């Protein structure tokens, strides 16, 4: 005797869309499946002892399955609730980590670098440059092509304006080649500043005690100036 009966024999009529899909696959074959109603029908048709016993066993299996689902329904529901809670906690953890990361970025107020801390100072300047979303203004009278290596790390859409003295070592070719790959860079000449400053998106102002080309060669400090009016005053001086 076959261990399975075709679905239509077991009391389950195929729905129209199932017939259509089935006919596309193979018109000559129907899927094999047990249904509780089908087994009940067979138990009334088949008189063979083995067939009857198999029908009874399958009916018992359906009964036990219903009992299992009924008894453990609350467990399944709790597991689903636990899963939802875990997803919710994951989202909250991500929010917390993002806020911690923001706070970490905002922790910087001032920093002193001693002679030899060349990479540490360079890394901090790079981190500042990376925060810019639209515009960077760098004021440094002793700039050279070192600044171009730093500005490679900026977001490509960010505009950069460098205010420097007549002694700037950057050539027009340097600027042209940089712009071809990394975006808009402009150089302007001025003799109105003694110290070095970095302005990010017209919102953040950093004062640097050393020229960006001399980071770490001597002891110097970098400070974040919180007062927004200083940015406004600097912009007035450079007519932005």
Instruction: Quote the distance between the C-alpha of residue 139 and its chain's center.
Output: 34
Strands, sheet with 135-139, edge to edge from the N-terminal-most edge strand: 110-113, 220-225, 204-208, 196-200, 135-139, 159-164, 185-189
First-to-last C-alpha distance (Å) of the chain: 92
Name which of 155, 146, 101 is nearest 122 in CA terms.
146
Three-class DSSP category at 215: coil
pLDDT, one tens digit per residue, over 21-50 is 555 555 556 656 666 666 666 666 666 777
pLDDT at 227 over 80: yes
pLDDT, one tens digit per residue, over 6-27 is 444 444 455 555 555 555 555 5
Query: Please, which pLDDT band fits residue 165 given cuts at 50, 70 and 90?
Result: confident
pLDDT computed for residue 208 by the predictor:
92
pLDDT at 157 over 60: yes
pLDDT computed for residue 132 by the predictor:
92
Q: Chain-wide mean pLDDT for the chain?
A: 78
Stronger pLDDT, 71 or 146, i.e. the higher one: 146
pLDDT computed for residue 172 by the predictor:
86
pLDDT at 240 over 80: no
pLDDT computed for residue 30 by the predictor:
63
* Alpha helices, H only, 107-144: 118-130
Task: Tell me the pairing of strands 185-189 and 159-164.
Answer: parallel
Q: Which residues of 217-238 are buried (b: 16+ CB within 10 A; e: fewer)?
A: eeebebebbeeeeebeebeeee
Provide the percentage of residues in the chain whose pLDDT is more than 90.
19
Give me 79's structure tokens.
Answer: 């597991």
Superfamily per CATH, domain 108-237: Endonuclease Chain A (3.30.870.10)
How many Cβ atoms are within 10 Å of 40's Cβ, its own excluded? Answer: 15
Query: Please, which pLDDT band fits residue 104 given cuts at 50, 70 and 90?
Result: low
pLDDT computed for residue 62 by the predictor:
79
Query: Please, which pLDDT band fits residue 159 given cuts at 50, 70 and 90?
Result: very high
- Cβ 136 vs Cβ 200: under 8 Å: yes
Query: Please, which pLDDT band fits residue 75 given cuts at 50, 70 and 90?
Result: confident
Q: Per mean pLDDT, which of 13-27, 49-63, 64-78, 142-156 is the most reliable? A: 142-156
pLDDT computed for residue 137 by the predictor:
93
Give the whole-angstrom CA distance, residue 46 versus residue 44.
Answer: 6
Q: What is the SS3 string spanning 90-102?
A: HHHHHHHHHHHHH
The domain locations on the chain are: 1-105, 108-237
- Cβ 158 vs Cβ 132: under 8 Å: yes
């Amino acid at each position: 005797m076959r261990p399975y009966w075709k679905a239509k024999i077991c009391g389950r009529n195929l729905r129209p869309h199932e017939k259509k899909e089935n006919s596309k696959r193979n018109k000559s074959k129907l899927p094999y499946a047990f249904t509780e109603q089908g087994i009940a029908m067979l138990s009334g048709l088949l008189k063979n002892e083995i067939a009857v016993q198999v029908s009874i066993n399958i009916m018992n299996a359906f009964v036990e399955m219903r009992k299992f689902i009924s008894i453990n329904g609350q467990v399944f529901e709790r597991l689903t609730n636990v899963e939802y809670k875990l997803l919710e906690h994951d989202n909250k953890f991500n929010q917390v980590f993002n806020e911690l990361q923001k706070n970490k970025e905002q922790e910087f107020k001032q920093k002193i670098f001693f002679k030899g801390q060349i990479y540490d100072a360079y890394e901090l300047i790079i981190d500042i440059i990376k925060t810019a979303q639209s515009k960077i203004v760098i004021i440094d009278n002793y700039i050279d092509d070192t600044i171009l290596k730093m500005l490679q790390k900026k977001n490509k859409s960010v505009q950069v304006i460098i205010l420097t003295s007549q002694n700037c070592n950057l050539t027009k070719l340097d600027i042209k080649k940089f712009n071809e790959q990394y975006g808009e860079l402009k150089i302007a000449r001025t003799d109105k500043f003694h110290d070095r400053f970095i302005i990010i998106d017209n919102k953040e102002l950093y004062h640097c005690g050393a020229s960006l080309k001399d980071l770490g060669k001597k002891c110097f400090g970098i400070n974040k100036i919180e007062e927004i009016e200083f940015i406004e005053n600097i912009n007035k001086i450079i007519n932005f």
